[in-house]
Structure 1
Amino acid sequence: MGNSLPTSVGLSNDAAVNQIQEIVSDNCVVIFSKTTCSYCKMAKNLFEGMNVNYTAVELDRNTNGSNFQDVLEQMTGGRTVPRVFVNGAFVGGAMDTRRLHEEGKLLPLVHQCQVKRKS
């Protein structure tokens, strides 16, 4: 259900910022993840359980994963994964995302994005 993006080679910091911003603005749900991370799996399973498509950027399989992680830390204040974005906004890590879902606030954010993209 999740899409993975191709790896890219040797980005500058500015290019990494631009690429991350482009990925986030082009997709309703983006999970910056690592394939071996149990919290990342939990976040992905949450969206799969809601039948919501997401784009996964697997930092441990991306040539620029470390650079992306540095930029994500600057953008979000945290270096840990997952870093979850919905409708262009950073919503947090796995526990934050799960809490939003439990509070009934996550799906409306996803729907806002889906409606915006259709119009």
Structure 2
Amino acid sequence: MDQVRELASKNAAVIFTKSSCCMCIVSRTLFYELGASPAIHELDRETNGREMEWALRGLGCNPPSQLSS
């Protein structure tokens, strides 16, 4: 959980996503279209992405079923 908090504190906008999630791709595109430059962390490409996903759940995030695959 500490790593998630640390990554989230480094940027004004942070997106934890998975590369295969269509809603995540749409959200990321929307941020870019609005002129934001969010930090993107794709959990399926992170070495400890599964642990990060569980940490996010512990913080109250409830990702769609695609994220838990």
TM-score for the superposition, normalised by structure 2: 0.86
Hey, which bits of structure 1, 4+ residues long, moved more than 4 A? none
2:4·2:52 contact (CA, 8 Å) conserved in 1? yes
> What is the alpha-carbon root mean square deviation over aligned residues?
1.4
Name the structure, 1 or 2, with higher relative contact order (CA <8 Å, separation 6+).
2
Q: Which residue of 2 aligns with 1:27?
A: 11
Distance 2:64 2:54 in 1: 10
Count residues with an aligned counterpart: 65
Higher Rg of the two aligned structures: 1
Distance 2:61 2:17 in 1: 16
Q: Return 5+ residue gaps in structure 1 as ranges.
A: 1-16, 82-119
Query: Identity percentage over the alignment?
Result: 31
Distance 1:77 1:52 in 2: 22
2:36 equivalent to 1:52: yes
Greater strand content: 1
Query: The residue matched to 1:76 in structure 2 has which SS?
Result: coil
Range moving further from structure 2, 17-26 or 71-80: 71-80
Instruction: Tell me which of 48, 52, 59 is aligned to 1:64.
Output: 48
1:29·1:53 contact (CA, 8 Å) conserved in 2? yes
Q: Return 5+ residue gaps in structure 2 as ranges.
A: none
TM-score for the superposition, normalised by structure 1: 0.51
Distance 1:79 1:54 in 2: 18
2:31·2:38 contact (CA, 8 Å) conserved in 1? yes
Distance 1:80 1:69 in 2: 12
